[in-house]
Each structure stands twice: as C-alpha cells, then as structure tokens.
Chains A and B, each alone.
Chain A
Amino acid sequence: MSQLIQLGSNGQASIVADTWTRVVPPAPAEESVRKQAGKVVLFKLTGEQTYSPEQIANTQIPATGKILVPLAVWQARKAELQARLAAGELGIVLATNETAETLQAEFADLNTLPIIAIYVERFADGRIFTLGNWLRTRYGFKNELRAIGDVLRDQLFFHKRAGFTSFLIRADRSAEDALASLNDFSQPYQGAVGDVPVWRRIQRA
C-alpha cells in the first residue's frame, strides 16, 4: 500500500502510487558527536552542511527514472544531473535547516522543478511550514510540494494550509487513516497559502 497522499486539482485528497525515487546519501562514516550523545538534534545552523563531501560523492544515483535528490547532492553533482532536470525527472529535497533562498540561487525559475520535497527529521520541527509558505508565496513555486520524513496525520492539516500538495506518511502509519485528518477543520480563522482570513472570506454576523 502506498504511503503517499496527494491533493488533486479539485482539492480532493487520494492515495496514489509514488513515482519518485528518493536518493539518500549513505550514512556518514562516523556518527556525529551530537547524535552519539543520544540527543535529538534539530537545530543546524543555516549554511551548515547537511552531508559531507564523501557522503555526497558516494551517493548512488539510479540511472533511470524520476529522482528526488538532496539540494547538496544537486549542488555538487550538477553536471551529471542536468539532463535529468531537462527531462523533468529531477526534484529537490530541502532539509528544514536549508533555505528557500539557496534553492532559488540554484534554479532561477523554481518551476523548472516538477517537485520540491521538504524533509522533516522530527514532526515537531515547525520550520517546514514556514518553508512551504515561502516557496508558495514568495518564490512562486506552482508544482508539487511534498512533505516527507516524520510526517504524521496530526500535522497534515497544517501542511496543507502551508502550501503542501502531497504528503508521504511515515512508513509505520496508515495513509488511509490519515486522509480524513485533512478535513479536521472546515473554516479556519487565519489566512494561509491560497486562502485569506475568514473575515475576508465570508460575511460574519
């Protein structure tokens, strides 16, 4: 069973097959010290490298098919990925400590990307929402925006309102169950991506 929920153009959500293969760099040779301490580390200074040069060099990229690659891998291996991009077979994965600005520096028109995925390491990292919002409102990204990583149904409503159009539910949870949560609230108060505050939307008594 697929774990991918997608919003159709009519706003209806359904479970669909995932046609994108996520390219993940190999684990680092040494666990980072902070991780060894057994603590969850969420905060990475913006600009800090997500992956080491070795990891990036050792990343296996499938020869064919649609691939989602981390921004850092794209930056380091553009030459070999260029053709995939041109063929519409390349999407970028942004980590929550990366910025939309860096992405923009790589792709003057973000819409050359058929998909951008934002990877959230822990569901409690709310930066994903601001990133989604920025990509939609500030950077004019119109294609598929996907939430991946520790994605649980209880945050989907927020993901959706922050501009995401697809959601890869964590592997051990039911995407079927998660579908319903997209409609937890029918008339939210505040504006969001593609939505205005309630008082601009409807006449209130």
Chain B
Amino acid sequence: MYKYDPIDQQIVNERVAQYRDQTRRYLAGELTDEEFRPLRLQNGLYIQRHAPMLRIAVPYGLMSSKQLRKLADIAKRYDRGYGHFSTRQNLQLNWPKLEDTPEILAELATVEMHAIQTSGNCIRNITTDQFAGIAPDEIIDPRAIAEIMRQWSTFHPEFALLPRKFKIAVSGTQQDRAIVQAHDIGLEFYKDAQGQMAIKVWVGGGLGRTPILGTVIREHLEWQHVLSYCEAVIRVYNIHGRRDNIYKARIKILVKALGIDDFRRQVDEEWAHLKDGPLTITQAELDRVAHYFEPMPYKTLPAHDASFDAAVACNPAFAAWVKRCVHAHRVPGYRAVTLSLKPHGKAPGDITSEQMHMVADLADAYSFGELRSSHEQNLILADVQLSDLFAVWEKARAAGLATPNIGLLTDIICCPGGDFCSLANAKSIPIAEAIQMQFDNLDYLYEIGDLELNISGCMNACGHHHVGHIGILGVDKDGSEWYQVTIGGKQGNDASIGTVIGPSFSAEEMPGVVKRLIEVYVRERSDEERFIDTVRRLGVAPFKAHVYAEKESA
C-alpha cells in the first residue's frame, strides 16, 4: 500500500499543529461556533447527539494491520472501545471528546493516517472497489490514480469551501462496485481500442434528498488529464453551484439546471485552459505511485488445494462461509475474504477494539498485513491462500466475524440513525437488528439469495437506501418515527433508484413488511432470478398489493 514519504508526513504533521491551534482558539472563545464549524468538519469532527463524532479517513478503503491496531487503541483510549465503518470506507468514532481530538489526530499521524477532508464542503475521501488490485474482472488497478487524486485534493487551495461536499469514486473493473453513478464525479477506468488506459467520466450523481444517478460527461478521457479535467468540472461548480440553499447546492442540481450539454460546454471551455498544463500527470509520477501498489509477493500455487476441498466437503458451516464470504482472486491459489461486520442483532459496521486487534493479527498472519474496508461496511482480507482459509475461518468465527451472510438480506447497510446522529428522523440500527432477527434462519436466507437491504435514518441517505434492492428510509410523522420502503434500487453498472411502494410503516411493522416482500419474491421468481430482477420484471404492484393487503387485514 501507499507509504508516506517525508512530504506526506510533514503535511499531516502540520495539519495536526494547525488543528491543535484552531481547537485551542475555539475553546478559548477566539473562534465562534460558526467559524470553527468548517475547520472542525474538514478534520472529520461533527458535533452529534451524544458527543462529537470523529470520522477518520481510510483512503480508498486500504489500511495496514498497524493502522488498524492504532484505530483499535484510539477507540479504546478515547472512545468506548468500538468504531463504526461507514459506507464511504472510513471509520467513525461516536464518543470522543472535542478536547481530545487534536491528540487523536496526532496519534493517527504516527501511523500515516488523518481525518483530513472526511467532512465539510470540500473534496472528500476518494473511494473505490474493495477488491481493487485483485479482482478477476479488473481492467485497471485504480489505486495509484486514487492516491494521486488524494494528494491533489488534499488542501486544494481553490476547493476548500465549495458550495457543498464533493465526492469522487474511481472504478477499474467490469462490474462496478464503487457506485460511480452515485457520486459527484465517478471515474470509470477502461482500456480503449488502442489498449491505452482511459476514463469514462460521470458527473452529477448523488443520493440524499434528491437522488440522481450521474450522467456521462465524457466517454473518453486520457488518464494523464484526470486532474485537469476534474479541476475544470469543480471550478465550474464552485462558481455556479448554488450557495443560497443547501438542499440545492450539490453539483447534481447544477448539472440538471444547466442540462448536461451546457454543463459540458462550460467544462470544456474551462478545460481548454488547463489541459496539457502542469496538472498533466506524468508517466514517471504514475509509476512512482503505482510502485506502492505492485502485486503482493504471491507464491506460485496450484489452483486447487486438497485440504481446502476436504474441509468444504465435510464441514457444512465452513462451506456456507466459503460460499458467502470468500471471493475469487486473480492469482491462482488465493482468495479474498470478507469478514462480516453484520452479525445478527448487532449494529451493522460496528467493530470493537478487540476485534480490530484480531483482524490485524489475521491480516499479518494470512494476508500480507493489509486490510480493506468496503462501502457495504465490512472488512476484507484480500490475499488469503486457499490452504489457510480454514484457519482464518476458525479464528474469525471465534471473534464473531464469520457470519456467512455477505450479499444476503442480513448484510444490511445501515447509517447510525437516531441512536447517534442528530440529523436523524428515526432510528435505523434497531430496525436493522429486528430484521436480522426476523431472518435468523440461514437456510432461508440462502434460499432468498443475493439481496441488498439498505437503511437510512433520514433523507441524507447515508445508508444508500435509494440504491438498495430494498431501501428503508426513516421519516418523521407528527413527531414519531416511521419508515418508508422503496424497492428496485440497485448499485453497479445498471444502477437504478428504488421506487416507493406506498405509505410508511411503524418500526414494529418493519420486519413483517420485509418478510412479505420476500414472500412475493419467492412466489413469483423464476429459476435463479434475483430479487432485484423479479422487481424489475414485475414492477412494484404485486409487492405493494401483498404488503398492504396484509396490513389492512391485520
């Protein structure tokens, strides 16, 4: 993974010093709340329901075992012994003290970590696919470009105070797993007809109050120009984006208001001045950064392993885990493993300090000391030998990290909701827990198959409910908590925004509602058809009919 040189380290150290002084001035009353706000946000610090919330950056979801151990220790010392992985691949702490945050940042800096631009109206953490570099369907490893973009966007002098936050995702695989279409800028890398690395650029996607999938602004961008092109896009946005209404401030609203053709014209005009300038990435710089992401020192292994095959054959529990949590790898004899942070009945994405230590140990013993976080809020060991899988499973299982539910209904993406978030209209974690308990039968879960269920506690859509096959949104009605259900949302290449099925439900009704949606699916599906495909084929009507019919007769 990327390794800081003295320049990277110095920037992070200087940031700690700067922020320490800003916090001191705030506590001394020299900065007003309003003035401190953007400063703390750009250091990942929110003021939340119970305490501040600190969002620590995990650039493109990649971290070392050493870094994870540091996160574990920070969670233990400055928080309540656990953290929460988010859909933007970062780690959130729910209970730190404001006074401690400079010290936390100082500790993070000792392991090449920070909380820079994890919030605020600036370019946020750049996200990508958790299987970057090892996915069999990968065309280009996007991590070097993601790192180059991380550096370019860090303290960008022009984009520190944009109209609104700005999110960029990069993907280098055939199957998009970075949801490029739900980002302000989505970069889809591919090889063009000449075999050169090129980029399809999407713009104006985003969820939140007004969910919109991005539009292609450029089919073919030579990779050397990615920074200058993004700079042109963001410049046009910085000048013309709305600043009068925060709900209309995202680039997606500007793109819609101008229309993609006019927006593109403005970007191209701007770009004409920047193209081929100093922002053009040189091959030497790409090579320098790419060198940190070279393939791991893999052994030459046979494609099959007898001990592994035997264990699968005679141990159904292990076999179930292999089926759901073990993924293909481009190198023979290796697999990627997802450690589920979704045990039934616990807050999705939560992990304790002890578990973090465990995972770090697993990474050291079996996966070259590296880890990834996924936007589905799980952790990944990317490079495990087939022959080690059984041992990994046993240890992960002992630590409560081997629930074999990846990609299933209980692998719920869920925002912190009303338990932690002061913006929430409703709780989301207890809903996730109740649904997980309702579907506690693994055999039934397997029968249902691939299904994505996403929950957000308010319109901000942190839980990506719009792109869940089933989406649940917390709404407020006369001061009490209700839940609106959408179906038919999807992430990936053929992304779609879900459709609301009808009036909202109470919290107690929710597990039953999901159950009835599943009943319709099981009844109507053709062989091998996934839930999402059945919804796409039939539309919402039969689902709606069943869910609300039951409601009336009840």
Contacts and interface: CB of A to CB of B under 8 A. Distances in A.
Contact of A130 (B235, B273, B288): B235
A41 interface: yes
Contacts of A34: 244
Interface stretch (B5-13, B124-132, B197-205, B530-538): B5-13
A187 B279 contact: no
A126 interface: yes
Nearest to A204: B5
Interface string B259-291: 000000000000001000011001011001000
A26 B424 CA distance: 44
B22 interface: yes
A54 interface: no
Given A130-B235, A199-B282, A199-B288, A190 B156 contact: yes
Q: Which among A99, A123, A126 has the greatest number of chain B C-beta atoms within 10 A?
A: A126
B285 A189 contact: no
Interface stretch (B147-155, B213-221, B464-472): B147-155
B161 A198 contact: no
Contacts of A192: 157-158
B242 interface: yes
Contacts of A42: 243-244
A188 B155 contact: yes
B239 interface: yes
A124 B37 CA distance: 10
B14 interface: yes
B18 A184 contact: yes
A133 interface: yes
A186 interface: yes
B160 A129 contact: yes
Contacts of A196: 278
Nearest to A99: B239
B244 A190 contact: no
A171 to B, nearest CB: 15
Interface stretch (A8-16, A57-65, A151-159): A151-159
Contacts, number: 114
B238 interface: yes
A197 B152 contact: yes
A125 B243 contact: yes
Interface string A163-188: 00000000000000000010011111
Interface residues of A, number: 44
Contact of A46 (B18, B227, B240): B240
B154 A189 contact: yes
A43 B253 CA distance: 14
Contact of A187 (B10, B38, B156): B10
B162 interface: yes
B273 A138 contact: yes
A140 interface: no
Contact of A126 (B11, B162, B279): B162
Contact of B158 (A99, A133, A200): A133
A25 B17 CA distance: 41
B60 interface: no
Interface string A37-56: 00101110010000000000
B11 A162 contact: no
B22 A154 contact: yes
Q: Is the interface of A mostly helix, strand, loop or mixed?
A: loop
Contact of A185 (B14, B38, B152): B14
Contact of A197 (B38, B162, B240, B279): B279
Interface string B31-73: 0000100110000000000000000000000000000000000
A149 B10 CA distance: 32
A127 interface: yes
Contact of B35 (A133, A152, A197): A152
A192 to B, nearest CB: 5
B242 A158 contact: no
Interface in B364-423: none
A123 B157 contact: no
B121 interface: yes
Contacts of A189: 7, 11, 151-152, 154-155
A155 B15 CA distance: 14
Contact of B157 (A125, A127, A152, A190): A190
B159 interface: yes
Nearest to B3: A205
Given A189-B152, A190-B151, A155 B160 contact: yes
A101 to B, nearest CB: 11
Contacts of B288: 199, 204
Given A130-B158, A158-B160, A199 B285 contact: yes
B238 A126 contact: yes
Contacts of B279: 190-191, 197
Contacts of B14: 184-186
Contacts of A161: 157
Contacts of A39: 244
Interface in B204-253: 227, 235, 238-240, 242-245
Nearest to B285: A199
A133 B231 CA distance: 12
Contacts of B15: 185
Interface of A: 34, 39, 41-43, 46, 99, 123-127, 129-131, 133, 137-138, 152, 154-155, 157-158, 160-162, 181, 184-192, 196-200, 202, 204-205
Given A126-B161, A196-B278, A204-B5, 8 more contacts: A34-B244, A124-B38, A125-B161, A129-B238, A162-B158, A187-B11, A191-B279, A204-B288
18 contacts: A42-B243, A46-B240, A124-B121, A125-B161, A129-B158, A129-B159, A137-B273, A152-B35, A155-B160, A157-B155, A184-B17, A188-B157, A189-B11, A189-B151, A190-B154, A199-B282, A199-B284, A205-B5
Interface of B: 5, 7, 10-11, 14-15, 17-18, 22, 35, 38-39, 121, 151-163, 227, 235, 238-240, 242-245, 273, 278-279, 282, 284-285, 288
